[in-house]
Amino acid sequence: MRNSRKAEPLKTRSFAVIGLGTFGSTVASELARFGNPVLGIDIEGRNVTRLAETLTEAIIADGKDEAALREAGVGNYDVAVVAIGEDLEANVLCTMNVKLLGVETIWVKALNRTHHRILTKLGADRVILPEQEVGQHIAQMLHNPLVRDYVSLGNGYHVVDLNVPAKLDGKVVGSAAILEKYNLRALGAMRENQYLSCDSDELTLREGDKLLLLGKRSDLRHFGDDLRDGK
């Protein structure tokens, strides 16, 4: 019997992004594009004006001023993103302020490792080092040109999005020669706009497919190196 109940709409979370430079404005704009209520705050009027039509609300205020953040209603938001750039003092004080205002989840942009430790001690839920994280991401893809993207799962495990080369065209995912040698697991594949399951291990690959692989970083590297070297 078919269940006729309609799917419930996805619950949105509200975000306050403080600091609307390049990093902050990108985060705020994308969150708004996804349909979330977003409050943008910056001490510079030109940054606020630039996003006034994009965000739910954009306000000129100083993140170091707890009263100003309280008046802006930051404490009513589910998540605060402190994206203040080079001003270490302003970044730390703003993080303390949003914590005092009772924001449930706080993400903060850090300037360096020392700053990272300070923000962690202050209770930030996630501390971001954008340049380092992006640099690692780019290095991983440069190291293996077949890798389109990857996600680190911790404990040495990664999921990579791999372009299937001509060498694997016509190969069956479940064949030992492809993945078991490298202790890798296929999670699925995309062929143009179609998702292909790897649950049965009987998927026949085609050149140009996008294959999702799970494994340890070293094993994924060896697999990519062997493909690149034609082994």
List pLDDT tens digits, range 55-80: 999 999 999 999 999 999 999 999 99
pTM of the predicted protein model = 0.71
Confidence of residue 180 (pLDDT cuts 50, 70, 90): confident
Buried/exposed code over 62-99 (b: 16+ C-beta within 10 A; e: otherwise): bbbebebbeebebbebebbbbbbeeeeebbbbbbbbbe
- Given this model, what pLDDT does residue 8 score? 55
3-state secondary structure of 167: helix
